[in-house]
Structure 1
């Protein structure tokens, strides 16, 4: 096991104490903490009350080159490391995360504002699961040999090279580990660039991985803004894979940069997912599933923000829905009783409110919510449901990424219209379907354009399943063996029949 990374002195300018937890604010490159080459920093603020949490090393082109160089230098030895040893080290990292779930949870809540109870019970345990799953899947990875005219085909997964992973702010460490685990298991080295609004748990994770024995340069963490740190990373000729979760415009810029070196990309770009409620559905179940869309203050890429209800079921659905919304408790995410916490940043609150104000100006009605939560102030926004919205309106077509849902109806018995409305956006990440008719569920699910369809449930996930979106919701699928297919170069070795060797 590697020695612990040297901790800076308690009064070091490179240490921030967040929720009682010391966090090093420098980059992690080549197995050591380094400040930015320029000496520049940026301020990370808490969404809870706007207070500064830390001054973070602000990466630039020189830092990006150093991070990729460290990943390239470490790659040959890591790629040659036996799968069993790579798996052992990933389990050791998982052990380290498990031991520090409370530290990671309180820091992440301070940094991104999501519910502390969710971080403790679901999100951070999922980080552990991500690491263990891909460690174990690596050892089970195989494809049956097959024969063509007596020649045997053997399929193998070869490490591709350094991978750049760019992650969002809504579930920072969980989504980072979802990419890091398969990339490292595959034998690649990694440069992680966390979102600038939520960099802290990535720094903690780097220290945990080092203490678990991960070799220097195998995992690197570069902090900073996209144009300054992310852009030189994705344009570096030494990079062989790019995985990005974020917005469509940013993905376009990454794709253009990657095209210069023909670097494969995996993109998960959010969505505008529908929740279809048929008249034969259980109205209480439908309402429960709809209210779940306010999870994490609506900052969930998979959220079904467009509720489409069969006309005759509208009133019953709406009654149950509003009853459940009234029972939600907005507040401090560190309080166990809180159901809806703050949004991530004042700029994001302004963006969400802009969508709602423009919709209301265009004739939409707020059945509930419709603005900021002035009683709580700060970044808190009221859970909102808008009706009287046109299918071609901005609020129906564009991703808001906040606690804002719309309600539309479709004629009784008209599955075609329900599917038309559901599929009528440029996105295709997910869809949720609520019905009491098994055959209808099969018919409608088959016609929905979505990477994931949930029937009478929501957010049931398994790492063995493919994850990704259609249309502008992304490119590619990750999860299970699909992750290894992306992070590796697949090789087919063809061997002639026995007796092929000729001796002179």
Structure 2
């Protein structure tokens, strides 16, 4: 047991409704000041085996409950999250360095919503019967079994519950492997779920290093679904491990998304959207870090973005005035710094920032111009507070540049023309396109990426298409006995 921001946290796994220790541990370090938070139980194949076994044992009874019965429990979990919102916000801020104000106002309310929304959705989930040559076809959504969920560190609790919510609402049981760089709120969620009456074994948490606990979970023959959020290279390793078991996969992976700014746009709005990409120190997969601006307004737009970005306050994320916090770890700081250093050596020019901090993990907001077409800084995901500026002459060139990426997670465009918005959005290769806005999405809408940005879609019915075995039952009009009553 450790105390973080005055909150007691059990650092053992949660398996089968009880706490389980491991022989080994790993250190959890806060990015705020690189201080030691505690030793966390490090799971291996043994703990994964135990968690999957517990989930499989709990599955029949949980799946047999009706959607309203499961929903009642999941809504109590949501209530528990609301009751502990401040604890969760403070712990996650300390653990991964994200802004406390964002956790309080947006992230933790969304965590609770992930349970309520999918509990409600499961109760309404239905498909109209179909008819062919007098035969009736009925589509139903059957629980699939045990869901393995592996989540990242940039929004650990929100991104975990975005999968846990629909998986449990569908009638599945869950084994969660939280990120080793930010594991603490997953442990608190286990406590909340237990207090809400979630039966033992329905939700399990195995902490550990990805190459050990994550690898064991990915290849486990006892799982029926696997959802992963993270990098493309890690997804390749997971897919290879999962291939022999033919388990269905849902991957949300990286991005190199464009912000396409046309000369007929609301310039104030465009500037605000560009600077918004520094949110969470750029550690956002959906971020539009490639700024593409039409030549006729490029000079003014660039100057205004730099001026506004200079006003961002960087510092301790627990301070309400802070806009940009630290990167999650020393290793990640070195990675981000390496991208920028190589870009500068290759001829790019820093018009803001561009140098690693002398101490701490607070990489400054950085904007690079004049990068060579096709260079690493324009094609690879940095996952830090680094934007690039490029210009385009006309609509066709802008769309071509926006689509010049192996990723396809999101795209944002800013224009004052509804007709242009329709034309351009239709041509953009992205799972989500925002027009004159950013980061707006109903939980019922599909979410996922094209290309190297992922496999599949989740959200609303799309989530249940993945977390369920969708069954079609065909009833003939013939063969019935008149005396039959059952």
Alignment TM-score, normalising by the size of structure 2: 0.98
- Give, in angstroms, the shift of residue 500 of structure 1: 3.0
2-structure distance, mates of 1:239, 1:178: 19
Supply the RMSD in Å over aligned alpha carbons.
1.1
Q: Is the 8 A contact 1:284 1:317 kept in 2?
A: no
Indicate if the aligned counterparts of 2:347 and 2:372 stay in contact, CA closer than 8 A.
no
SS at match of 2:277: helix
Aligned to 2:428: 448
String of CA shifts for 1:155-175, please: whole Å, max 9, x gaps.
Answer: 100000101000000001000
How do 1:19-418 and structure 2 match up within 5 A? Answer: 19-36=5-22, 39-374=23-358, 377-411=359-393, 414-418=394-398
SS in 2 for 1:409: strand
Distance 2:210 2:97 in 1: 22
- After superposition, the C-alpha distances for 1:473-498 in whole angstroms (9 at most, x for unaligned) are 00000001100000000001111127
Gaps of 5+ in 1: 1-14
Q: What 5-or-longer segments of structure 2 have no aligned partner?
A: none
- Please list the CA deviations of residues 396-450 of structure 1 after superposition, one character each: whole Å capped at 9, or x if unmatched: 0000000000000011xx2111111111111000000001111111111111110
Corresponding position: 1:468 with 2:445: no
Q: Secondary structure of the residue that 1:436 maps to in structure 2?
A: coil
Farther off after superposition, 377-386 or 253-262: 253-262
Distance in 1 of aligned mates of 2:268 and 2:147? 45
The Cα of 1:499 is off from its aligned counterpart by 6.5
Alpha-carbon displacement from aligned partner over 1:127-184 (angstroms, at most 9, x marks no partner): 0111100000011101111111111111100000101000000001000110000000
Deviation at residue 231 of structure 1 after TM alignment: 0.8
How far 1:323 moved relative to its partner? Answer: 2.0
Post-superposition shift, 1:72? 0.6
Deviations 1:204-236 (A, max 9, x none): 000000000000000000000111101111111
Write the distance in 1 (CA, Å) between the matches of 2:133 and 2:183. Answer: 55
Q: Is the 8 A contact 1:49 1:378 kept in 2?
A: yes
1:9-28 residue CA offsets vs partner (Å, 9 max, x unmatched) = xxxxxx01000000000000
CA distance in 1, matches of 2:483, 2:98: 69
**1:293–1:304 CA contact under 8 A, matched in 2:** yes
Superimposed CA distance per residue, residues 251-307 of structure 1 (whole angstroms, 9 cap, x where no aligned partner): 111111221111000000010000000111111111100000000000000000000
1:478 aligns with 2:458: yes
Q: Match of 1:154, SS?
A: strand
Is the contact between residue 274 and residue 305 of structure 2 (CA under 8 Å) also seen in structure 1? yes
| TM-score when normalising by structure 1 | 0.95
Distance 2:254 2:70 in 1: 32
Runs of 4+ aligned residues of structure 1 deviating over 4 Å after TM superposition are none
CA offset at residue 372 of structure 1? 2.2
Any idea what SS the aligned residue of 1:49 has? coil
1:318 is displaced (CA, Å) by 1.1
The answer (yes or no) to whether the contact 1:431–1:448 under 8 Å persists in 2 is: yes
8 Å CA contact retained: 1:27, 1:221 = yes
| Partner Cα separation in structure 2 for residue 319 and residue 358 of structure 1 | 24
Q: Tell me what 2:473 maps to.
A: 493
Equivalent residue pairs, number: 484
Supply the distance in 2 between the matched residues of 1:249 and 1:276 (Cα, whole angstroms).
28
Question: Residues 283 and 316 of structure 1 are in contact (CA less than 8 Å); yes or no, is this contact kept in structure 2?
Answer: no
Q: Any conservation in 1 of the 2:351–2:366 contact (CA below 8 Å)?
A: yes
Q: Name the SS of the counterpart of 2:407 in structure 1.
A: coil
Show CA shifts across 1:42-94 (max 9, x none).
Answer: 10000011111010000001111111111111111111111111000000000
Residue of structure 2 equivalent to 1:6: none
- Does the aligned pair in 1 maintain the 2:339–2:377 contact within 8 Å? yes
Instruction: Give the Cα–Cα distance (whole angstroms) in 2 for the partners of residues 185 and 54 of structure 1.
Output: 33
Return the alpha-carbon distance in structure 1 between the equivalents of residues 224 and 120 of structure 2: 24
Q: In the superposition, relative to structure 1, how do residues 236 and 502 fare at CA in structure 2: closer, same or farther (>3 Å)? A: farther
CA distance in 1, matches of 2:481, 2:263: 70
- Measured at CA, do residues 484 and 51 of structure 1 come closer, stay the same or move farther in structure 2, by a change above 3 Å? same
**Distance in 2, Cα, partners of 1:313 & 1:157:** 52
**Deviation for aligned residue 1:322:** 1.6
* CA distance in 1 between partners of 2:412 and 2:317 (Å): 27
Alignment of 1:9-24 (within 5 A): 15-24=1-10
In 2, are the aligned partners of 1:343 and 1:380 still within 8 Å (CA)? yes
Secondary structure of the residue aligned to 1:260 is helix
Q: Give the Cα separation in 2 of the matches to 1:485 and 1:390.
A: 42
